[in-house]
Amino acid sequence: MKLETNPTSNVAAPRGKGKLVLSVAAAAALLLSGCSVGTPVDRSKVESVDANAKTLRLAHVYDAGHPVEECGVATIKEELQGSGLQVQSFPSAQLGNESELLEQVASGSLDMAVAGPSFLGVWEQNAAVLDAAYLFEDVDHFVDTANGEQMQAVFDNLYESSDIKVLSSWYYGTRHVTANKQISTAADFAGLKIRTPNAPLYLANVSAMGGTATPMALDEVYLALQQGVIDAQENPIPTIATAKFNEVQDYINLTGHMVQGVQLNTGRAVYEGLSDEERTALEEAMQAGAEATRTCVEEQEQSVLEKWKTGSGIQVNEDVDRASFAAAAGEAMRQQPWGDLYDQIKSAR
């Protein structure tokens, strides 16, 4: 489960110069359940500890069964075998939320962390553009942009100002709106209280589409929907299915308002403490992890949606006027500090 918190609260952005944390793991990793999508790595082949390898501690806020862990992190572990590096993973927010994990990475007290653009935007405001509504046409557009020259310049600025280095960008999923009614136009949003993560850009995205954004922690949403405290929520299909929101909502409305990714981040002390060979091995493993995660997420998006279309508990509304939503969102996004970059990314497709 992704635990989402306000990335602007109680966050300082110091230039961290912490010491390299590369401890040898003393215990085997958690015994995790198998991934239900894609082709996950055989965990038995990657959970052994090499006493002679440097151990990088990686933390994130997703469940142990989420594709980020079961497909992405597991692939990293497999790819690093024999490289002199190994990864010890801490899923499920064991070491903190996304804001806290980034602070630890910047200070050098944590080796690597997964965090999204809205949270990186606290440290380098232009990084937040990747979470803007209706920025991307499809997943390829996201991947090309995240790996392209424009965002590399943004990530370079982030590194120089905060010591946080983005190693890789992973596809997380495309966000849609669930509710107890069909939502096809902005008028259908009128009067609906729509849960969002507690981050300013998420609130702006929903408001631009005509909704009333209600910030709330993800683990509170099921009960809030069930009791009518909120009317709707928005998330990628794998998250909706994992959290079982389809049990307490009548419709999934395919708004596709965010094609979303997350970043794999490390700190300067860690990155510059690696040899050239170790850096190459880590970067190649990260790329393999990105590809594995995308495969798992896309396969689950397709398989879960097909199951729902057959009448399994929630109705699928494909009659959504995305063009009108995108136009309204575009006007709002252009008012952001990175509005020009938003237009450049959209026009590049």
Q: pLDDT tens-digit profile of 37-96?
A: 345 555 555 566 788 899 999 999 888 888 999 999 999 999 999 999 999 999 988 999
pLDDT at 313: 79
Which of 19-23, 170-174, 247-251, 292-296 has the least mean pLDDT?
A: 19-23
pTM of the model: 0.83
| Three-class secondary structure of residue 257 per DSSP | strand
Percentage with pLDDT > 90 across the chain:
74
The phi-psi region of residue 28 (left if phi > 0; otherwise alpha if psi is between -120 and 50; otherwise beta) is beta
pLDDT over threshold 80, residue 22: no
User: What's the token pair of residue 325?
Assistant: 């939503």
The phi-psi region of residue 191 (left if phi > 0; otherwise alpha if psi is between -120 and 50; otherwise beta) is left
pLDDT at 30: 30
Q: What values do phi and psi take at 315, rounded to 5?
A: -90, 140
Q: Which of 68, 52, 50, 49 is nearest to 60 (CA)?
A: 68
DSSP category for residue 315? E
Helices 149-162, 339-347: crossing angle, 10 deg rounding: 150
Where is mean pLDDT largest: 140-154, 199-213, 231-245?
A: 140-154
pLDDT at 143: 98
User: What's the token pair of residue 145?
Assistant: 């942009």
- The HSE-up count of residue 41 (CA atoms within 13 Å, CB side) is 24
Give CA–CA dist 162/67, Å, rounded.
28
pLDDT at 157: 98
Q: pLDDT tens-digit profile of 119-139?
A: 999 999 999 999 999 999 999
Which of 45-49, 90-94, 285-289, 316-320 has the least mean pLDDT?
A: 45-49
DSSP-assigned letters across all residues of 317-339:
E----HHHHHHHHHHHHTTSTTH
DSSP-assigned letters across all residues of 277-290:
HHHHHHHHHHHHHH
Place of tokens 């902005």: 186
